[in-house]
Amino acid sequence: MDDLLLQKYLRNETSEEELVEVLDWLDASTENQRYLDRLDYISNLNILAGEAQPRIRRRTVSLWKRAAQWSAAAAAVLLACAGLGHYMADRILERRTRDMMAITAPNGQSMSVTLSDGTTVWLNSGAKLEYPSIFSRKTRRVKISGEAMFEVEHDASRPFIVETFACDAEVLGTKFNILADARTADFSAALLEGRLKISNRLVGGESFILSPNDQIDLVDGHLKLNRITDPDDFRWVDGLMNLNTLSFGEVIRKFENYYGVRITIDNPEDMPELKYHGKIRVLDGVDHALKLLQITNNFSYTRDDETNTIHIKITKI
């Protein structure tokens, strides 16, 4: 590809035919895109340094000759421009829909992001969202790993689909929570508002349509429909970790997920059989969370920063 043509493309000076040529070249390989990025970077440096940009020489044509040329071509241009314009718009949109972006919530923190259609996504600690810079005209599809809350902008003509390792969630309403962890094979979806269709990617033909306060869980590879038992489970969007009805081991697993650490129990046979209640503010950190747990449990712990591991030793009474 000629560098002068690429320079024209970067300066938005290409004709429609030249734009098609450049877009075809960019689609041919990712290396071409990287080459254009480097050329753009160098051009910007030249501008900052005050260097002159390559000049494109144009041949002069008399006004009367141009008028004759334009008149002869007018009919063909009018017939072609509408179709070409739609074609170019579709090509550019198609490229943008393939430009995937990714964002991951830091360990011990939650965050929110607003997508190009106005949909808001809250990501729990360590959750990863993959999404296109702009959605296609037919569907709005994203990928999630970890826990996320979605409040989807209504658009009946473009269904919103959340893809996970186990299931696809097709939004028929607005607000829902998804937990998808491929490492532990955990998947659940809870609908707070509207309607939601869950399709099992592991077992063909298995799907459910959820109503408000329905929750679906993946059990031995199959979907099981339940009701939401504790709305406080979704208070993580407010920075709160719910511990209601959890055992000591379940609380420790939750600490691992929220804070991105590995926690080992040296003597698991001595774990207390208590059920816990209340909520913990996540931003206070894992040490604060463990100290709160020590109020009702007799244990000590040490941290290994090199391996990012916490060792717990329970003192048997």
As a whole number of angstroms, the distance between CA 256 and CA 125 comes to 10
As a whole number of angstroms, the distance between CA 257 and CA 80 comes to 57
As a whole number of angstroms, the distance between CA 167 and CA 180 comes to 9
Query: In the CATH scheme, what is the code of domain 239-314?
Result: 3.55.50.30
As a whole number of angstroms, the distance between CA 108 and CA 126 comes to 8
Tokens of 246: 């959890």
Torsion of CA 166, 168, 171, 175, to 10 degrees: 20
CA distances from 42 to 3, 49, 56 (A): 12, 10, 18
CATH class of the domain comprising 100-231: mainly beta
The pLDDT assigned to 154 comes to 87
Phi, psi of 95 (to 5 degrees): -65, -45
For the chain, strand residue ranges (E) read 100-104, 111-114, 120-123, 128-132, 140-151, 160-163, 167-171, 175-181, 186-193, 196-200, 207-210, 214-219, 222-227, 240-242, 262-265, 279-281, 299-304, 309-314
The pLDDT assigned to 27 comes to 75
Beta pairing partners, 209: 197
Tokens of 100: 């995937």
The pLDDT assigned to 4 comes to 78
What residue type is assigned to position 255 of the chain?
F
What residue type is assigned to position 91 of the chain?
R
The pLDDT assigned to 190 comes to 97
The pLDDT assigned to 241 comes to 96
Beta pairing partners, 269: none
As a whole number of angstroms, the distance between CA 124 and CA 108 comes to 8
Residues in the chain: 317
List the Cα angle 80/85/89 in 5-degree steps.
Answer: 155
**pTM greater than the 0.85 cutoff:** no
Tokens of 189: 């979806």
Per-residue pLDDT of the chain (317 residues; tens, 9 = 90+): 777 788 777 777 777 677 778 777 877 777 777 777 777 656 655 554 444 444 333 333 344 444 444 454 555 555 555 555 555 555 655 666 677 889 999 999 999 999 988 999 999 999 999 998 888 888 899 999 999 999 999 888 899 999 999 999 999 878 999 999 999 999 999 999 999 999 999 998 899 999 999 999 999 999 999 999 999 999 999 999 999 999 999 999 999 999 999 999 999 988 888 889 899 999 999 999 999 999 888 899 999 999 999 999 998 76
Angle between helices 248-259 and 286-294 in degrees, nearest 10: 170
The pLDDT assigned to 90 comes to 57
As a whole number of angstroms, the distance between CA 217 and CA 179 comes to 9
The pLDDT assigned to 217 comes to 97
Are 210 and 216 in contact, with CB atoms under 8 Å apart? yes
Of 192, 230, 196, which Cα lies nearest the Cα of 210? Answer: 196
Are 198 and 216 in contact, with CB atoms under 8 Å apart? yes
As a whole number of angstroms, the distance between CA 157 and CA 154 comes to 9
What are the residue ranges spanned by the domains of the chain? Answer: 3-98, 100-231, 239-314
